[in-house]
Structure 1
Amino acid sequence: MDNSSLDIWVAGALAAVTVDFLVYPMDTLKTRIQSPKYNHLYKDATGAIKRDVLFRGLYQGVWSVVLATVPSSGAFFTTYETTKHILTLSSTQTQPQSQTKTPNPLPFTHPLPKPIIHALSSSLGEMVSCAILTPAEVLKQNAQVLNMKSPTSTKAPRQSATVQVLAKFKHRPWKLWSGYTALVGRNLPFTGLHFPIFEGVKGWLVSRRATGKGNRDRNGVVERAALTGVAAGVSGTVASVVTTPIDVVKTRVMLGAGGEELKGTEKTVRKVKGTLAVGREVWREEGIRGLFRGGALRSVWSAFGMSIYLGIYEGGRMYLEKRRMENGEGGVL
């Protein structure tokens, strides 16, 4: 690996912030559609969608996510790249010790193939990232469904959606992590499926492109970023469709964490429903259709978001690596 940890953090942060602003409106719509109060809040008595309410405040809660994705994306990519690097060097299938100058960092070798290495590395990175991201996700999703009506009085300025939601947790801040299990439960299957497909498709595209280019430059930053974006879009679509039911449950759990049950004294506070209980409830009340609610929209923004996210990350990482190598600096994790 030729990248430093700083390269990975900077590239990951740039990619995360860019995507947050680009796809956030679609994520807000997806959250509102998956909300258990969707019919009550966003439809009138005739069943028609109240578009003025559904499409109002699509950027509510965005700053909580932007501030959290910088460290969480850096933590994910650092963990992912480091773990992938170590497991690849110690694999008897991907890089035999007799053919590499880099020593095995582990005291043993293993027979794991590349797809398994990518799945394990991305899953470990996701678990670290989710610990940082969960509070922001809880704030974000509760802010996204908050009905921000125009104030009837001008005496006091209207508080932002994030501030209003944060006030619900001031006496019980630990509730901000109540969605960690649901978030990991959603992200691990998505990431574990997405990254092996992504790495496979990217490798195939890069190999095909390199064959067609002959002796010309095969490592252009823009071209590699574009190929990475295409691979990420394809793999993101597949992974998002498969994991939509888990995403619906995760959304319900996080919305429940910021619900009315947080108001009142400690004696009257009710326990937020767990992931399995919420999943059974959705299945019982709404069936398979409820578990896939918002799936089409999620697949669209996942394809778009992942292509931009990983495309910018790969392009930024390669650019920083080339600039550092031109300056004669080494690449260490």
Structure 2
Amino acid sequence: MELETKSYYSTSYVYWSSLISGGVAGLVVDIVLFPIDTVKTRLQSERGFFRSGGFRGIYRGLAPAAAGSAPTAALFFCTYDGLKSYLGRFATESQQPYVHMISAASAEVVACLIRVPVEIAKQRRQALSLKYNMSSMEILSHALQSEGIKRGLYRGFGTTLMREVPFSFIQFPLWEYFKRNWTSATGVALTPVSVAICGAIAGGIAAGLTTPLDVAKTRIMLADESGVRKSGVLVILRGIYREHGIKGVFAGFLPRVLWITLGGAIFFGFYDLTVGLLNSGNRK
């Protein structure tokens, strides 16, 4: 009975630690790097960079991003760490990358329940400032009333998953691999700084490879309802390629890679630092 009680409190602590650490890390990243995300969104917009606002109002959409970042990241890491801990007990060392993939993909599905409505409000504020000259809550209310839940609040949900799941399939196994081999490769103990470097490298690689999916997701979220009713990811990307070539398909590549590389460093660094502080406090 005592063993079961200890196991319960241990599992409960892992969840709370993941929730708090993920929330802190997500909030810091979104606030610090928001201008880069705005530039990336406007570069990917069908209206073009300057017609979408250029460098003006670079912080438009910060409020919904800041409000949604903490719960989104918290939910993600709570799910990821929980599944990784549970599934890892049944997997061999060579099977651990698959555990990380499954855990990350599942966590993305849960996190997107909050992320997608937040992205709708944020990106319309970033790129459609003239049309949507209203608050974030008014944008979401308008989307719900005029387009409904599926085509309004959760427009681009499937496309977002198509971007986030492959991204996580690449990023998290790489991050875990880099952490596991950091000491043997560098001779230096793993610290929050080295965890941040691992996260930056993994995030940059994943960001570059999944840029076309991010372009399609942005177009879907910014389009009028009639423009996305029959348009899937491949249709959108083929249209972009015909009109703008490979440059259009990879629009926003540099700011996206820069944003996620810096974001990965800050996110994973703050996450590891917060976990360490919570563990230190728990031991006391």
Correspondence 1:144 to 2:126: yes
Structure 1 unpaired stretches of 5+: 43-52, 95-111, 150-157, 213-217, 263-268, 327-333
Pairwise CA distance, 1:280: 2.5
Correspondence 1:199 to 2:181: no
Asked if 1 retains the 8 angstrom alpha-carbon contact of 2:215 and 2:249, the reply is: yes
Partner of 1:165: 139
Partner of 1:46: none
Partner of 1:248: 215
* Structure-1 separation of matches of 2:248 and 2:70: 33
1:270–1:250 distance in 2 versus 1, CA, 3 Å:
closer
Identical residues among aligned pairs (%): 29
Correspondence 1:275 to 2:233: yes
Pairwise CA distance, 1:194: 0.5
Equivalent residue of 2:29, what SS? helix
Partner of 2:191: 224
Asked if 2 retains the 8 angstrom alpha-carbon contact of 1:60 and 1:161, the reply is: no
Q: 1:322 aligns with which of 273, 280, 284?
A: 280
Correspondence 1:298 to 2:248: no
Equivalent residue of 1:113, what SS? helix
Pairwise CA distance, 1:70: 2.0
**Residue type of the partner of 1:36?**
E
Pairwise CA distance, 1:12: 0.7
Partner of 2:35: 25
TM-score by length of 2: 0.87
Alignment length (residue pairs) = 271
Partner of 1:152: none
* Structure-2 separation of matches of 1:135 and 1:173: 12
* Structure-2 separation of matches of 1:148 and 1:163: 16
Partner of 1:48: none
1:170–1:81 distance in 2 versus 1, CA, 3 Å:
closer
Asked if 2 retains the 8 angstrom alpha-carbon contact of 1:181 and 1:275, the reply is: no
Q: Please tell me the root mean square deviation across aligned C-alpha atoms, in Å.
A: 2.4
Structure 2 unpaired stretches of 5+: 1-9
4+ aligned runs moved over 4 Å, structure 1 = 158-161
Asked if 2 retains the 8 angstrom alpha-carbon contact of 1:79 and 1:124, the reply is: yes
* Structure-2 separation of matches of 1:315 and 1:275: 38
* Structure-2 separation of matches of 1:270 and 1:123: 25
**Structure with the greater alpha carbon radius of gyration:** 1
* Structure-2 separation of matches of 1:275 and 1:136: 21
Map 1:44-55 to 2 at 5 A: 53-55=53-55
